[in-house]
Amino acid sequence: MTKPKTEPAPNRHGLHSLRRRVALKGLDALDRRSQGARELIAWRRALVSDLGGETALSEQKRAIVELICRTRLLLDHADSFLFGLESVILKKRKVFVPLVAQRQQLVDSISRLLAQLGLERIAQPVEQINVSAIQLAREEIRKLSKKDEKKGDEDGRRTDREPEEPGSGTVA
């Protein structure tokens, strides 16, 4: 009895398990200590900043940003796996590895989602200083300066004129 030829196990890229974990927990499924996770979080912050900041995002835009980040995570994972391969072409069949097609779908998805957000950068709104807060601060400063003047009067010091220069006074 001849033993059937067994083919080696196909390469496991982990894309499907990562997709499941991220679908369940979002970006919280990431180990934030890893370099890739830190870069993705920094990229998300930059994207949100380009859209006008966290406060300027509507819930719809926030959901699109979350989808973009999840897709970017999967795309980065697929890229790192593909770059680790000797070749992205199956030599016997002379076709690309199936992951190349999935990667291209992820790229198309990100570009569509980014187009929905818009490509122009939106300036973050500058917080305006409340005029009444400035007035309150000025009043507090006035009150404190009046208290200092009264304290000087009680100590016998003259606060209504400039202090005398040394040596210009009368000799006792």
- pLDDT digits 0-9 by tens, 64-84: 999 999 999 889 989 988 999
Question: Would you state the pLDDT for residue 141?
Answer: 86
Question: What predicted TM-score, i.e. pTM, was given to this entire model?
Answer: 0.57
Looking at residues 44-62, what average pLDDT do you find? Answer: 90
Contact 81, 13 (CB under 8 A): yes
User: CB within 8 A of 44, min separation 6: which ones?
Assistant: 27, 65, 69
Structure tokens at 91: 């030599």
Rounded to the nearest integer, the mean pLDDT of the chain is 78
Structure tokens at 31: 């180990």
Exposed, middle or buried, 73 (CB in 10 Å: 0-12/13-18/19+)?
A: buried
Is 60 exceeded by the pLDDT of residue 159?
Answer: no
For 77-108, give the DSSP string.
HHHHHHHHSS-SEETTTTEE-HHHHHHHHHHH
